[in-house]
Amino acid sequence: MYKATVTIKLKKGVLNPEGMTIKRALNFLGYDNVKEVQTYKMIDIIIDEEDEEKVKEKVEEMCKKLLANPVIHDYEIEIKKL
């Protein structure tokens, strides 16, 4: 059994409306020294598989097929044996 942690970030230069909205709200609340806010998503996937290479291969496929949009996202995969 493995746990794969996928980090999905917007590519450099792609606007982060959520981050900008949070920054504006924090500045509005008086946190004027907040200069930048970036948000990104983490996905933990528990996979019933014994071969680490196979896990890595499958999670790469999952990212390409479903989890990440190759046009705007970069992703990283971290794998841990449970």
Q: Give the binding-site size for a second copy (rule: CB under 8 A).
A: 30
The nearer residue to a second copy, 48 or 71, going by C-beta atoms, is 48
Shortest Å distance, C-beta 44 to a second copy: 4
Rounded Cα–Cα distance for residues 40 and 44 (Å)? 14
Burial 13-33 (b: 16+ CB within 10 A, else e): eeebeeeeeebeeeeeeeeee
Give the pairing of strands 73-81 and 2-10: antiparallel
Mask of contacts with a second copy, 23-52, x by CB under 8 A?
--xx--x-x-xxxxxxxxxxxxxxxxx---
The residue ranges that bind a second copy (CB under 8 A) are 1, 7, 19, 22, 25-26, 29, 31, 33-49, 58, 62, 65-67
